[in-house]
Amino acid sequence: MTGNTRLIAAALCAAGIALTTPHAFAADIDSTSGIHAGDTLVRLRAIAIVPEVRTSDALSTLNVGVNNATVPELDFTYMIRDNIGVELILATSRHQLTSSAGGLGGVNVLPPTLLLQYHFNHQGQVRPYVGAGVNYTYFYNNGLHAGGQDISIKRSSFGPALQMGVDVQVTKSVFANLDVKKVWMKTDASLNGTPLGTLHIDPLIVGVGVGMKF
């Protein structure tokens, strides 16, 4: 079992335990619990990033792939209504590219993502939510190369993002979180001015963590 698989399994187990024991911390939660318009939610997660790679042209011929990564993620949600929030997600990761011709080096990915969310059961202890929005992906620290020559890439892209997750209140201000996102991102690659094709990374991102309500 890989490290990312173990993280996903641990996240699902943690969520299952939390969902099957919704009253474990009931003594610490009163009628002021839940979330409401004007609240700010801050979460810190460990996320497993699992690219679902698609390529075109020469990149397909070379069977180019992108490795998984596990990194921390920070997000901020502002509740504009009791059930509706706006979330900004911040994280960065480095990915190594592989091919049938050998390793191609690595590149850093910074995909700040803005999501509009709907929170179910906003006054409850267990609060599922769904979200949809857009991500802006910035590629930096490009160390890609082939045959001793640098591979150039398009430095940024825009793409959609979808999200689903659940918050489980454990005290008046602290909650556990499980979150799953699908993010679409891509870049165009070239070698000495010759296009190599488009690399679609399109990761599935699974995270587990804790949050605080302010």
Q: Per residue in 105-164, pLDDT tens?
A: 999 999 999 999 999 999 999 999 999 999 999 999 999 999 889 999 999 999 999 999
pLDDT of amino acid 101:
87
Tens digit of each residue's pLDDT (9 = 90 or more) over 75-97: 999 999 999 999 999 999 999 99
Mean pLDDT of the chain: 89
pLDDT confidence of 11, banded at 50, 70, 90?
Answer: low
**Average pLDDT of 60-70?**
94
For residue 90, the one-letter residue type is: L
- Counting residues of the chain whose pLDDT is more than 90, the rounded percentage is 82
Strands 84-90 and 69-79: antiparallel
Domains annotated on the chain, with CATH: 3-213 (2.40.160.20)
Going by pLDDT thresholds of 50, 70 and 90, the confidence category of residue 182 is: very high
* Average pLDDT value for residue range 199-205: 97
Q: What is the pLDDT of residue 33?
A: 74
Residues with Cβ within 8 Å of 160's Cβ and at least 6 positions away in sequence, in order, are 132, 133, 134, 135, 183, 184
Give me the torsion for CA of 95, 46, 75, 206, rounded to 10°. 80
User: Residue 147: what pLDDT?
Assistant: 84
What percent of the chain stands above pLDDT 70?
A: 85
Q: Which residue has the higher pLDDT, 24 or 37?
A: 37
Give me the pLDDT at residue 24, please: 46
Q: What is the per-residue pLDDT for 148?
A: 87
Beta bridge partners of 178: 166, 208
pLDDT at position 10? 52
Q: What is the pLDDT of residue 31?
A: 45
**pLDDT for the residue 38:** 96
Q: Are 153 and 182 in contact (CB under 8 A)?
A: no
Residues 57 and 147: their CA atoms lie apart, in Å, by: 18
Neighbours of 203 (CB within 10 A): 24
- In angstroms, the CA 86 to CA 83 distance is 10
**Cβ count within 10 A of residue 48:** 24
3-state secondary structure the chain: CCHHHHHHHHHHHHHHHHHHCCCCCHHHCCCCCCCCCCCEEEEEEEEEEECCCEECHHHHHCCCEECCEEEEEEEEEEECCCCEEEEEEECCEEEEEECCCCCCEEEEEECCEEEEEEECCCCCCEEEEEEEEEEEEEEECCCCEECCEEEEECCEEEEEEEEEEEEEECCCCEEEEEEEEEECCEEEEEECCEEEEEEECCCEEEEEEEEEEC
CB contact set of 1 (below 8 Å; sequence gap of 6+):
9
